[in-house]
Amino acid sequence: MEKLENKVAIVTGAGRGIGREIALLLAKEGAKVVVNDLGGGADGKGNNAKVADEVVQEIREAGGTAAANYDSVAEFENAGNIVQTALNEFGRLDIVVNNAGILRDRMVFKMSEEEWDSVIAVHLKGSFNMTRVAAPIFKEQKGGRFINFTSTSGLIGNVGQANYAAAKLGIAGLTKITALDMARYNVTANAVAPFAWSRLIGTIPTETDTEKERVEKLKQMSPAHIAPLVAFLSSDESADVSGQIFGVRGKEIMVFSQPRPVRSVYNSEGWSIESISAIKGSLQSAFTPLEVSKDVFPYEPLV
């Protein structure tokens, strides 16, 4: 039996890459899918309705059910339009996959306000917009699934991605609070940090041998590797899984730790600059190294 039969899903940014693979698999598992994609470039500029239409056609040719939507998630009213597409076409909504994203990479000392705002708007505000519009529906029907996309750029760190990292770490926080707020209504919220070759990753500079080697590793990891976990988190099988951060790296699935205190010190007299300096060493061994994602994942993808 198809695991998502009679479910209705929205997948944002579903015209290419990871979003496309998710939409195809959800449909294969029986879900009716709203394929949302503005059809813009990796930087979010431009629009092309054919991008979403082609995925809808592919789903239909495979025997599935889908409808297209071309709105940008960055505007709150558009989120209402996207959700309304699901209600108008299929009569209900059960799953929201917040996958839409853009990149505007720049070193923090060069980043413009527009580069910051545009990335925050699509990733973080877009995820909020979709969550805010869908949450009352899920609350009323006492059931639903939110699957949000975070990134190791925020969870760990990457150079030149202050806007993207801030948005993606913000999404981790949004996911946790959504999970807490919606738990009593049998609604789950989880985040996925994907490792996969996509058009966004394709913007990574490849000027040095190290950069070229990193990109070659990423090319081994297909967007199709991400879709099964999202399908699981969309299903009834995951009813007891919420507030978690997962990673998918090739054929490897991981659960990320979440911030918790690792060491503390106490001073009955209160603290001063001098007294903190004196005990700095006892805290320093618990400091998190200043690492980037490739430092934490130096091994070959398991594909």
What is the per-residue DSSP string for 190-214?
Answer: EEEEEE---TTGGGS---SHHHHHH
Q: Is 130 helix (H, G, I), strand (E, B) or coil?
A: helix
Residues 226, 22 contacting (CB under 8 angstroms) = yes
Q: Helices in the chain by DSSP H: which ranges?
A: 17-28, 50-61, 76-90, 113-120, 126-141, 152, 162-182, 209-219, 227-234, 273-284, 293-296
Distance CA 98, CA 126 (A): 8
CA dist., res. 66 & res. 273, Å (int): 61
Query: Strands 252-255, 245-249: parallel, antiparallel or unpaired by DSSP?
Result: antiparallel
Task: Name the DSSP class of 11.
Answer: E
Asked if 160 contacts 106 with a C-beta cutoff of 8 angstroms, the reply is yes
Task: Catalytic residue, from 70, 164, 185, 266: name it.
Answer: 164
Q: For residue 119, what are the CA distances in angstroms to 89, 164, 220?
A: 30, 6, 26
Decide if 164 is catalytic. yes
Which residues are annotated as catalytic? Answer: 164
